[in-house]
Chains A and B, each alone.
Chain A
Amino acid sequence: MARIALEHVDKTYPNGYVAARDLSLEAMDGELLVLVGPSGSGKSTVLRLMAGLERVSDGVIRIGERDVTDLPPQQRDIAMVFQNYALYPHMTVRENLAFGLNIRKQPRALIDERVGAVAASLGLDALLDRKPAQLSGGQRQRVALGRAIVREPLAFLFDEPLSNLDAQLRVETRVELSRLHRKLGATMVYVTHDQSEALTLGDRIAVLKEGVLQQVATPMELYDQPANKFVAGFIGSPAMNFFKGVLTRDGDACEFRGVDLVTPVPCEPTSGGAVFLGVRPQHLEITSDNATGEGTLKGEVGVVEPMGNEQIVYVTLPGGERAVAIAPVRPRITAGERVTIRVRPEGLHLFDAISGRRITRFDWPLTPKRSGH
């Protein structure tokens, strides 16, 4: 197993589209690193750069300590699982599994042994002589996985491998992948656009936007200390609420003043000026009392989505803005109801209105080991 490192990698397409800009990122040995971002963020390109399916415009790629920047994929000794599995339709499952070993001219006996072992571990024994067209989606997924494992590569790359599965199978496979990662102790890079998948799977998560790395951190850190407004908004569901306003300082006390909301916030030495206040829906409390004053908002309930154990409430604020809150199942909240929202002080995030950068830090002392720009 080996680490995969990108060092100051640029990728620009001839048509001018920039897929990666001065990107430095490392998947450490044995780590499962998730690349996440909205579509067009360049996350798939980064994976393809690692695989060697695309060439960098500038920068260096290392696998282990080896500089593989100019090596074609077949010399990088990595395995990749494609979004739609890319099983060779003209070959049986057995042949698919054995393909990489055959190409490397491994001895027959070794191939048989490894294919057998992998098939057994993934429950593919009975399917070995079928063609991919005769398999279900989940079975194909496992063959694709098996094809990667059987070669015992330096690292695994996954390109949205679960996106073609139905919801239940997706969860099962996610668990399976986690288990596999632990068992193999392999370096894995996993691309997804689904932040919840990222949070549940990743040892660390790298968030990309328009070819620029926003933040790399553990799931908790990413959730609690998003490095900027983009990450804050991308991670977590429903997404964080943002209120535009001004940060004012009065001695040691700082205060956020938005259109409808005034609330004290912890001070930072440099802070001041136009900001966004970010609050996760979990940290908005809906009350029906007529409380007023600091930390409260008035609004009218638009839509309520009952989720079983909780309800998601969409509230329209007087200014026309909307806020999303998660409330306990009881009391029942109904559409059209006028409510008061209270902002819990422990869940506040402040971001610079112009750069989007995080400008407050709260009491709990979590310092990101690495972070983006």
Chain B
Amino acid sequence: MESGASRVAQRGQFRAGKWIFAGALVVLMLFTLFPFYWAIVASLTPDAALFRNPSLWPHQIIGDHYRALFGDRDFITPIRNSLIVAGTTTIFCLAVGTLAAYALARLDFKGKAPIMAFILAVTMFPQISIVSPLYLLLRSLHLIDTYPGLIMPYMTFAMPLTVWVLTGSIRQIPRDLEEAAHVDGATRRQSFTKILLPLAVPSLATTGILTFIYCWNEFLFALSFTLGPERQTVPVAIALFRGQYQVPWGEILAAAVVATAPVAAMVLFFQRRIVQGLTAGAVKG
């Protein structure tokens, strides 16, 4: 990653435009970070001040919105729901997806290419196209507004995503390690469990993070297949804060900050891995 490309480019002729470049980058960074800053500031500002005279600097800081969020709003419930749904989906997809990815990356059989094409095609699926039958299906199974009723639909995008990304990253693990294990006497199962799996742990983690983020952020299915606060996920809960009468911006922003914090932390922490995971499967020049 730390390629010398940069050095070349830098040494090269960009010098003249260097300041323009830096300026543009700073503007972009401001553009990127400002909404977060503003959300944090606003979530700590009393409602009354918020609507009278918006100011970039916080004048009076209160924690009321956060207290209300976890008190009256019971924001813990959607967080718990999101964790359960996203967590279960991720774990299940990893379990099933690892097997599939192993087969697609390592085994040689007819139909592999069509399967990969099929999986890629499914990732391009418009979710809305299957909302109606999923709804009817879940309803007939009495799964509307239940955890399985969300986990199942989540598979539609999480499973192809997992398989696709994992296949890409398993392909990058040198094959001769498993071959060496075979020659050393390991069966396929042993080479899988003792060699490939330990080596694939970082890839699994990356894929897991990606899948989790996608599930955590999912909205359409969660909106369509949950009905009440008991099973709503974080995005749905936030979107529907706009209650009977009011738009409680303070609480909405507090919720936004709370919902953003874990993914932001994950992203900052695993930035490099996420980038690799995102681009590994996606682009091959």
Contacts and interface: CB of A to CB of B under 8 A. Distances in A.
Contacts of A80: 179-180, 183
Interface stretch (B70-78, B164-172, B185-193): B185-193
Given A74-B186, A151-B184, A84 B176 contact: yes
B182 interface: yes
A53 B177 contact: no
A177 B179 CA distance: 22
A147 B179 contact: no
B184 A79 contact: yes
A336 B48 CA distance: 95
Interface centre among A77, A78, A83, A86 (most CB of B within 10 A): A86
Nearest to B197: A90
- Give the interface SS of chain A, mostly helix, strand, loop or mixed: loop
Interface residues of B, number: 18
A230 interface: no
Contacts of A89: 177, 199
A40 interface: no
Interface string A69-101: 000111011111011101011100000000110
Interface in B181-232: 181-188, 190, 194-195, 198-199
Interface in A1-60: 51-53
**Looking at chain B's contact residues, is the secondary structure mostly helix, strand, loop, or mixed?**
helix
B4 interface: no
B174 interface: yes
Q: Which of A73, A76, A80, A83 has the most CB of B within 10 A?
A: A73
A330 interface: no
B179 A73 contact: yes
A73 B199 CA distance: 21
A82 B175 CA distance: 11
A104 interface: yes
Nearest to B188: A72
B177 A79 contact: no
A100 B194 CA distance: 12
A72 B186 CA distance: 10
Interface of A: 51-53, 72-74, 76-80, 82-84, 86, 88-90, 99-100, 103-104, 147, 151, 157
Top 3 closest pairs, chain A to chain B, by CB: A100-B184, A86-B180, A73-B182
Interface of B: 174, 176-177, 179-188, 190, 194-195, 198-199
